[in-house]
Chains A and B, each alone.
Chain A
Amino acid sequence: MIQVNFTTFELDRDTREWIELPVAQLIADQEEVSISGPHADWINPDLAIVDPETAQRVTRADGAERWARLLPFAYRSGDLNIEVIEVAAVEPVAASFHYSTAA
């Protein structure tokens, strides 16, 4: 199971310190993907990502966990901070968008 945390940092103009703000959390479990968080709609579950190892376009249909590991390569602008974590299990998410490649 792969957990991908998307956050962003905003500058506090008074303290000049960066404030981390949650954007979305993506869970890829075998062939299932769920996305939750205040800006879950910012994350495209149908995004194709060019795999640096193969130079092939990889989508969720090629394997949700493989695809999730590649997400940092899709968002290179620096605006989104992306953390990829391999996890054994995840607590159920109360409200999330759910995507499946199953027919």
Chain B
Amino acid sequence: MNIDSQVAAVNAAQGSLPVERRMLDEVFVGSPAPTSSPGINTTKKLALAGGDVVFHKPFSGVQVANAIAFGQTDETPPLHEAVAWRLAVALGSPWQEIVTPCVLRDYAGEDGSLSLQASGWPRDAAPTLNPTWCLPAAFFDSLIAQQDRHDGNWRWDGERLTLIDHGYAFALPGAILNYSDFVVARRGHGAATLSPDERDALTRLLSDLDLLGIARFLSSDCAQALADRARLMLERGEILRPGEF
């Protein structure tokens, strides 16, 4: 399965939720916000007609050396951004509420991922200390093999947590881990054991040969690794260790 078929599968699946329809249908207004690091960051900050602010990461703008350093490819980061959201939607609440919505959409002729801006600010440790947020975030990051969940890759607005930046996720065994702050926090709190809802979510995922549709969005090895992680979590009855991809 090549990435074109994975992109086509995501395109066919997205758009059922109101937030996705806004992100897919509304026109972009004005110019993107200026960027002063165009050689490194090709992400564009844009406004949609309805007022949402979004970030477009083109496939052509992937920083190839950085992606390869993480064990990704020159194409997977925008795809994995969108697949993380699709998995959150497939699993439902509470994970759908803590992952920033993301679709695949073109901007100015460039295909890429389009993520909704999250409310709040970075580097607030509050959600790592609150089980309402820390438990589902750690479960999700463990399941998706998130490689870079440092404290700049979530937003906290005083009331709710939003996980952002899932380009470096769905890692394969042996890939580098930079950060997994929620997994570390949950295990540090002695709360690694899966809840009944988490067991149910993993069981639902594994009971479908297509992994609730997610297998069509990933390379076969990434889909297999996802299933393997889910199975291992169920066998052990707890989230995985940091970097256990």
List chain B residues, Cβ under 8 A from A9. 33-34, 45
User: Known: A16-B29, A17-B30, A47-B150. Is A79-B69 also a contact (CB below 8 A)?
Assistant: no
Out of B29, B55, B70, name the residue touching A79 (CB < 8 Å): B55
Q: How far is the CB of B192 from chain A (nearest CB, A)?
A: 23
Nearest chain B CB to A62 CB, angstrom units: 14
The B-contacting residues of A in range 54-103, CB under 8 angstroms, are 54-55, 57, 72-84
B173 within 8 Å of A (CB atoms): no
B151 contacts which chain A residues (CB < 8 A)? Answer: 44
Is chain B's binding surface mostly helix, strand, loop or mixed?
Answer: loop
Q: Is A51 an interface residue (CB 8 A)?
A: yes
Contact of A50 among B41, B44, B70, B123 (CB under 8 A): B70
Please state if B69 and A52 are interface contacts (CB–CB under 8 Å): yes
Contacts between the two chains (Cβ within 8 Å), count: 100
If A48-B178, A55-B176 touch, does A74 touch B165 (CB 8 Å cutoff)?
no
B69 and A44 within 8 A (CB): no
The number of chain A residues with a CB under 8 A from chain B is 37
Q: In whole angstroms, what is the CA distance A53 to B68 when docked?
A: 10
> Quick one: given A11-B53, A16-B47, A57-B178, are A77 and B165 in contact (CB under 8 Å)?
yes
A13 to B14 CA separation, bound complex (whole angstroms): 28
Report B45-61 CB contacts with A as 1/0, cut-off 8 Å. Answer: 10100010101110000
Q: A residues within 8 A CB of B117?
A: 79
**Cβ A84 vs Cβ B37 within 8 A:** yes
Question: Which residue from chain A places its CB closest to the CB of B57 in the assembled complex?
Answer: A78
A53 to B44, CA, bound (A): 25
B interface residues, Cβ below 8 angstroms from A: 29-31, 33-37, 40-41, 43-45, 47, 51, 53, 55-57, 63, 65-66, 68-70, 115, 117, 121-123, 148, 150-153, 164-165, 167, 176, 178-179
What would 22 A/B residue contacts be, using CB atoms closer than 8 Å?
Answer: A5-B36, A7-B36, A9-B34, A11-B53, A17-B30, A18-B45, A39-B121, A42-B121, A42-B122, A42-B152, A43-B123, A44-B151, A47-B150, A50-B66, A52-B65, A55-B176, A72-B41, A73-B63, A74-B150, A76-B165, A81-B37, A83-B36
